[in-house]
Structure 1
């Protein structure tokens, strides 16, 4: 089994087909197909069902996904460790981060990391869902992950690197007030929210439950990125972390602080065991900034 063949397998999986996988890897489509067939022969199992142009993982293919990602991650880590021992610089650092954390703390950390390590390439992915962030780190497709707490660690290591304050954010034109707002003041108010079962909604509902407060949800949006535009359009208020609240204020919204103040911690997650020198460097930077 060759690592290149494993890369072919993951590319077909991630790009939903051989054609786009070949384009992404910049290899000829026949070469990719032959490499994938050789991998299936080595494993003694068919990894994909060919349905038209689509490639659907078989049970064996699904079982191979996590080991395959770990193989690639371990290979990258090994190369980085050897390069570091030889006094070389370079390599790649794969990260994943929730969208709400990109402006703070992710961007400042990556900025400082790149200034100190200009020859290391950084790739930052976004989880398809909040729960998939942990899966991406655990599975090896990303070496480090940034996410709000609490999260199910699933055997991962975690360090707290930041804490975001949450604000009550109202549409433009709302009378401004320097007075803080309490959770009890939200009683009966309609709040723009993301769907139940997401980490942000669960966090919000847990706060309300502890305060014995019930609110309405007149507008529910599937994506967190839609909340600020909804507020700006006058659809209603919402409760947002500081980065998103500040973005909304810059665009005309009104924010009010809670009393008592509401905070949510931000964690940096990684697998136990060997990490690349680049990952260790970013962890050290994150630790020095907290």
Structure 2
């Protein structure tokens, strides 16, 4: 007996900056922590089904019972906000109360690309994804006679949509890091040509998400390297910054240690000078008060004698 097709996913990716995402912070500000927890439960329900969720009373009450202090009215409000924010497709929700999005469907396609099952069509936003065709393309039919046509081998899976490159808005931390780097480059070279900041922002994302570098650390290294005589002439793009980041971080750290050692270093005397100074101090410490007074009297008498001789 053949194994039945599996619709849903076992897990789904959650962005590393989920907690600081503008949509998450908006839900947190209006509904509190229970609103954010509901968001996670809602996304889990979508991916458990596959790539969409029919938002009805049954689904609503199931999720309400999972979050303490949540009410059905509040879940409706949160869903309405997420639709307005673009987390879910507005047209599908308004027409058939289905929760899905282009990003959710792309994630589902990527996770199920090894499954041997037809591509989904129900509530599918990108209609070109449907791999089934009512007609037969005779140009690629192996049984057709005549001259063979050339097939574009670069597109081996025409049913799968081409994934667009991410676009970073003006509030994106990655775009801000890219702009900060270009600003510091311009401080050294006002005539520097403005690059594609979207490409630079994507390199910044890779530096943070893939290379596990802290955003604040990245900004500190950007400022430091553009003040360094050597690195300011070599780090002229976000890609180069990412490539050399480990070396930059180590060199900055070692430079800090060198400066600290210079500040705290004490000047030392030669051994012989230190020894003579110590002996002199020790001799002065050995005299008693009476001996010091007697020595002072002797010096006074000696001065009187020298005065008389001069006269």
Structure with greater helix percent: 2
The answer to whether TM tops 0.5 is no
Indicate the structure whose relative CO is greater, using CA pairs within 8 Å and at least 6 residues apart. 1
Q: Which structure has the greater CA radius of gyration?
A: 2
Please report the TM-score for the alignment, with normalisation by the length of structure 2.
0.21
Structure with greater strand percent: 1
